[in-house]
Every structure is written in C-alpha cells, then in structure tokens.
Amino acid sequence: MSASLLRVVARGPSSALFRTVAARPQPMVARAAVAAPKTFSTSMRMRSEHQEETFEEFTARYEKEFDGVQDVFELQRNLNNAFAYDLVPSPSVLAAALKAARRVNDFPTAVRVFEGIKSKVENKGQYEQYLAELKPLREELGIVLKEDLYPEEN
C-alpha cells in the first residue's frame, strides 16, 4: 500500500469534498413547479377490455381449466382464482376440481375444496346441498370431510 493512500485512509474524508456537495443548488423545487399537471387528476382512467361473464361462461371456463390441470400448483392457482369471485362455483366446477386433485394426487387440496365451499356459502343449508350433490364423487374418490376427520365437541 502506498504511503499517500495510507495517509488518506488515516485522515478520513476531506472536508473540501463535503463543501462542494453542500454548495450545489437543489433544483427539486424548480423541477416540481415545471412538471405539475394542469388538471386535477393525475391518473388515467383505466378501461377494462373484458366483458361481463355470465355464470354459465364462468362454469364452462373453470371446468375446462380444471380438466387441463397437470400439477398441484396449477390446481391450487385455479382454485384460488375460482373462489376469488363473489360467487360460489357450481357443483360441476367443484367436481372437475376434485377430479383434478385426484389426478395430481393432492388429497389435502381436495379436502380444502370443501372448506372453501363452507366459507363461501351463505348458510349451512346451502353447504349441505353442495355436500349432497358431491357425495357420490366424494365417496368414489375417497375424500373425507374435515368435519368427519375432526368432529367438533359441543
């Protein structure tokens, strides 16, 4: 290491360096005044390119999505998307999801499909109707409900 570099390191930073940085004018105020928009709104109005989808179109789209599922990630992504809407998917969509869960050998997700139904329906009667509709498929695939695995003690 050279002696001059050692002296610079030992002395620390030069105070002249800080004076030149501090002496620079700050153009932030002038720049903000020039770039200020003339209108009240600063964002553009976004328009959706998608049309409203009917329940039948939604059902057909998700049945097709679940029929094409090849791995657990795809299955869970499609389930998250289907349950994200402000509606309860039809039994045919849920049947396609359960068959996809069986195809990719994902038992926990199959059980959680029913948990998702339970949280989406408005009352217990609707949940019971979904269970009755999907009972033959549940028995065929060997899916046990969470309520059956862990009964609530009252």
- pLDDT value for 52: 84
153 pLDDT above the threshold of 80: no
**Apex 56 CA angle, 144 and 61, nearest 5:** 70
| Helix 124-141 vs helix 107-120: crossing angle, to nearest 10 | 160
Domains plus CATH for the chain?
55-146 (1.25.40.40)
- pLDDT value for 48: 47
- pLDDT value for 151: 84
DSSP H stretches of helix in 12-68:
15-23, 28-35, 55-67
154 pLDDT above the threshold of 80: no
Q: What is the pLDDT of residues 6-17, one digit of tens each?
A: 555 556 555 555
Q: What is the pLDDT of residues 31-89, one digit of tens each?
A: 545 555 555 545 555 554 557 889 999 999 999 999 999 999 999 999 999 999 888 99
Percent of the chain with pLDDT over 90: 55
Closest CA to 115 of 94, 136, 99: 94
- pLDDT value for 117: 94
Alpha-carbon distance 132 to 134, whole Å? 6
First to last CA, the chain: 79
Which residue type, as a one-letter code, is found at position 24?
R
Instruction: Supply 120's token pair.
Output: 């989406």
What DSSP element (H or E) covers 146?
A: helix 146-149
Higher local confidence (pLDDT), 121 or 27: 121
Instruction: Supply 101's token pair.
Output: 């869960």
Alpha-carbon distance 23 to 10, whole Å? 26
pTM above threshold 0.85? no
